[in-house]
Amino acid sequence: MLHSVNTPDLGTDEAEVIELLVKVGQTIDVDTPLVLVESAKASMEVPSPVAGVVKEILVTLGAKISEGVLLLQLETQDTAQEVEVKQEKPTEVTAQVQSEAVQIAQTIAALPQQAIEPSQVVVPNEAKQSTENRGVLHCGPAVRRLARELGVDLYQVQGSAVKGRIVKEDVHGFVKKVLTTPVNSKPVVSSGLPVLPSIDFSKWGEVEFKDLSKIQKLSAQNLHRAWLHIPHVTQFDEADITELEAFRVAQKDTFKAQGISLTILSFLVKACAYVLTKYPKFNASLSENGEQLVLKKYIHIGVAVDTPNGLVVPVIKHADTKSIATIAKELAELSAKARDKKLSPAEMQGASFSISSLGGIGGTAFTPIVNWPEVAILGVSRASQKPVWNGKSFEPRLMLPLSLSYDHRVIDGADGARFVGALNQVLVDIRRVLL
């Protein structure tokens, strides 16, 4: 029989479909991800409540959906596999959530006086390993809603009801256990940041409120987190790109005939990829416990792109293995996708180093914020002609301002200076990376 799958409670009024995870004719199980949606808060997968065969997909990429919207039709064999979908009255849900919040608050209040943040809860290794082979979840929508509110992964919760079904008491017990179990990590210290006061700007004149775009909201969260957690240091320098620019101009028409726009940014990506092979620390990440360095055997460079909706960072994968022509072509394609809102999540993930170029706009220097979990980012400003002493006289040289920000927990000032120095040498003579 045909089973209609509707959008569950997403925890937000509206979300956008950014990826279809199943195809017509595909056989799926209970909890198989159907679509990937993105809201102003986060991206999430919508699981299937039943097993069956996909007969018809009724949403498209970019569609705006909310709770109750029909996603697809499934052909099922046994309706007994369906997850309970009994709806609760809004007033009842509100009352229950409030009651559950009180219970959790009482539990936390009874704990020793130390700062605890949900994001800092450490799950035992056994629990993490148990999520690798995910099976069927037996629980109702009210339990799922409660778990979502408390940030609990239901696959880590042991059900106590018939046939291992998870009830609310199981979720409460899991939270209490995690909060009261000592973990092998340093205590979390509160930031101690004072709360910003509320200001009525209309006292001084007319104002207008304009909502931030979804991208701007997500970027703000990520940048704020990175700024608070990463001790930033910025190294400033200038690179002589006189010969590089002459070479680019000489080759521009040849590349244009191939439909490729040859920009300085293409050379920067290639140069950074080359230098990162010599200084792998800048291509690493700091482990969650802060005691290990994750050295990556790949070089994926993210390039910040300014769009009408905000800043996005598509990624050039394996930049160290690609020619400048290939990099230039990919940059053009990814930038066009970014402006047209057609970038897929995969095209914005996996960067190990980032470049933020303001050369087309202006400025002499700036302090880019490290894009966590990366440990370094290169900022580039507008090149300008400057008099440079050659030993006998001053001569005009085209100088490119560089601003390298890095995580001081991983990289010290000497390493930062060496990296910028090596990058300067490559940009002075790009033949170093072409040989």
Contact 286, 373 (CB under 8 A): yes
Find the radius of gyration of the CA atoms of the chain. 26
Taking alpha carbons only, the member of 172, 211, 209, 175 closest to residue 13 is 211
Report in angstroms the alpha-carbon separations of 424 from 272, 300, 334, 339, 418.
10, 20, 27, 31, 10
Q: Strand, coil or helix: what is 202?
A: helix
Q: Please tell me the total number of residues recorded for the chain in this structure.
A: 435
Alpha helices (H) along 70-213: 90-109, 125-130, 141-150, 168-180
Contact 386, 396 (CB under 8 A): yes
Per DSSP (E only), the strands in 10-88 are 15-20, 27-28, 33-38, 43-47, 52-57, 64-65, 70-75
Report in angstroms the alpha-carbon separations of 324 from 9, 54, 66, 330.
47, 44, 44, 10
Q: How many CB atoms lie within 10 A of CB 60?
A: 8
Alpha helices (H) along 125-167: 125-130, 141-150
Q: How far apart are CA 46 and CA 10, in angstroms?
A: 9
Contact 10, 37 (CB under 8 A): yes
> Quick check: is 172 catalytic?
no
Which residue(s) pair with 327 in the sheet?
none
**Residue 390's Cα: distance from chain center in Å?**
45
H or E stretch covering 240: strand 232-240
Longest dimension (CA), the chain: 89
Q: Strand, coil or helix: what is 46?
A: strand
Residue from 138, 229, 232, 408 carrying the catalytic annotation: 408
Residue type for 240, please?
D
Taking alpha carbons only, the member of 238, 287, 295, 245 closest to residue 267 is 245
Alpha helices (H) along 34-140: 90-109, 125-130
Contact 73, 28 (CB under 8 A): no
For the annotated catalytic residues, the residue numbers are 408
